[in-house]
Amino acid sequence: MGQAIAFYTLAACILGFGVLVITAKNTVHSVMFLVVNFLFVAGLYVLLGAQFLAVIQVVVYAGGIVVLYLFVVMLVNLKRPPEAHQDRRRRGRLGVTCSLVVLAELVAIAAYKYVSPAAGLPPALPMGPDNVAQVGMLLYTDYLIPFELASMLLLVAMVGAIVLAKRDL
């Protein structure tokens, strides 16, 4: 009974702060609400018995990602009026085409999962004291390629952010 009350309280706080993130007028306040939201999500992980994920949630998201958000908010001048001209290099049709291709892929994945629901399920992690070792083993064996692709994507995003920030400095 106590776990159910704690779960519903944490879930209500997560939803409430999620709404505050998207409705806040000040972007810095929005980022601070996001930090609190991430901390409540970490509390939810602790309640579910995944202490490692809770620590990762606090360190990576509440610590690292939000700091990057704050740097972007501080570097981008949001008080600037909109530009008067359109960029000739902008490719609107290409963006819409890519979005439709991604949407078609998501529909195909959902249809495949609906037709064969057992296919593509990740292997179950048995809960135990060495859960961190099991997560690490799966991460570096079965999920090595997605892990490396995610790290390359983050590296490209970081280099792009540095290039964009350096151009304005």
Tell me the pLDDT tens digit for each residue of 38-60: 999 999 988 888 888 888 888 88
Ranges of residues in the chain whose predicted pLDDT is under 50? none
Domain boundary among 11, 44, 77: 77
For residue 86, the model assigns a pLDDT of 67
d(CA 55, CA 45): 9
Residue 71 lies in a domain: yes
Residue 102 lies in a domain: no
d(CA 104, CA 132): 36
Q: Count how many domains the chain has.
A: 2
d(CA 62, CA 69): 10
Residue 124 lies in a domain: no
Q: Are 102 and 95 in contact (CB under 8 A)?
A: no
Domain of residue 143: give its range: 131-169
Cβ-Cβ contacts under 8 Å for 119 (sequence gap 6 or more):
112, 113
The answer to whether the predicted template modeling score (pTM) of the entire model surpasses 0.75 is: no
Residue 110 lies in a domain: no
Query: Where residue 71 sits, what CATH number does that domain have?
Result: 1.20.120.1200
User: 1 with 72, same domain?
Assistant: yes
Residue 126 lies in a domain: no
Q: Are 119 and 113 in contact (CB under 8 A)?
A: yes
For residue 20, the model assigns a pLDDT of 93
Domain boundary among 14, 49, 77: 77
Helix (H) or strand (E) holding 84: none
For residue 72, the model assigns a pLDDT of 76
For residue 64, the model assigns a pLDDT of 82
d(CA 42, CA 53): 7
Question: For 162, how many CA atoms within 13 A lie in the half-sphere containing its CB?
Answer: 6
For residue 118, the model assigns a pLDDT of 60
Residue 91 lies in a domain: no
Q: Are 46 and 30 in contact (CB under 8 A)?
A: no
Domain boundary among 77, 92, 113: 77
